[in-house]
């Protein structure tokens, strides 16, 4: 009788386990590389690398053809593929080719697959030796870029 009861319990438990839905969760990509025009702190051609620190907050750093930059990002959705707002620092030029640097907020649009574009404004911090002596720095300037992004693990 014990053996029959044990066999019935085993059959019931295996049937119960077979009814559960087992899902293999895809690992969420938490890093992204962006390549484009005026990426990497306003470089002519640049690259940005972003890391998600939490589900919505990220940090990015980049550089390119005579320039570099960094930013703190807040994503609207908990994904690296979502659009975000960013507080960014742009440094255009290095050494004797230094033109200007700026800090300011930007809105960064990210398409579902690969397209990215950003628009914002920056407050100029200083000008460099490349700028003409009679150049009058405006109180704020337009910051923009366009490119391609690729998420990865």
**pLDDT score of 18:** 58
| C-alpha to C-alpha distance for 153 and 146, rounded to whole angstroms | 23
**pLDDT at residue 106, as a whole number:** 97
Domain of residue 74, CATH code: 2.40.160
pLDDT at 108: 97
Domain for residue 97, yes or no?
yes
Q: Is the dihedral of CA 113, 115, 119, 123 positive or negative?
A: positive
pLDDT, residue 14, reads: 65
Model confidence pTM above 0.85: no
Q: What share of the chain is helix, strand, coil (3-state, %, to 5)?
A: 15, 50, 35
- The parent domain of residue 100 ranges over 27-152
From the list 100, 112, 114, 110, the residue with the least C-alpha distance to 142 is 100
Nearest Cα residue to 126 out of 91, 77, 85? 91
Domain count for the chain: 1
- What is the mean pLDDT of each successive set of 10 residues along the chain, which is 153 residues long? 73 62 74 95 94 95 95 96 96 91 97 95 93 89 96 92
Q: Is residue 13 situated within a structural domain?
A: no
Q: Residue 85 domain-assigned?
A: yes
Phi, psi of 141 (to 5 degrees): -135, 155
Q: Residue 8's pLDDT is what?
A: 74
What separation in angstroms does the CA of 1 have from each of 4, 5, 6, 7, 8? 5, 6, 9, 10, 11
What pLDDT shows up at residue 17? 60
Domain assignment of residue 51, yes or no: yes
Residue 127 lies in a domain: yes
- Residue 82 within a domain: yes
Count helices and strands (H / E) in the chain. Answer: 2, 8
Q: Can you give the pLDDT at residue 2?
A: 73
Q: Identify the pLDDT of residue 63.
A: 96
Is the residue at 72 inside a domain? Answer: yes
């Amino acid at each position: 009788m014990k053996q029959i009861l044990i066999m019935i319990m085993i059959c019931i438990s295996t049937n119960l386990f077979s009814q559960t839905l087992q899902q293999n969760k895809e690992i969420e990509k938490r890093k992204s590389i962006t390549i484009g025009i005026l990426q990497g702190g306003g470089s002519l051609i640049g690259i940005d690398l972003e890391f998600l620190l939490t589900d919505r907050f990220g940090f990015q750093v980049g550089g390119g053809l005579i320039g570099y930059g960094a930013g703190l990002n807040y994503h609207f959705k908990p994904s690296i593929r979502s659009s975000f707002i960013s507080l960014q620092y742009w440094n255009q030029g290095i050494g004797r080719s230094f033109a200007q640097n700026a800090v300011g907020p930007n809105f960064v649009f990210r398409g579902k697959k690969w397209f990215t574009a950003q628009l914002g404004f920056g407050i100029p911090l200083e000008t460099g030796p490349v700028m003409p002596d009679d150049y009058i720095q405006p109180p704020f300037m337009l910051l923009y870029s366009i490119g391609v992004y690729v998420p990865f693990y």
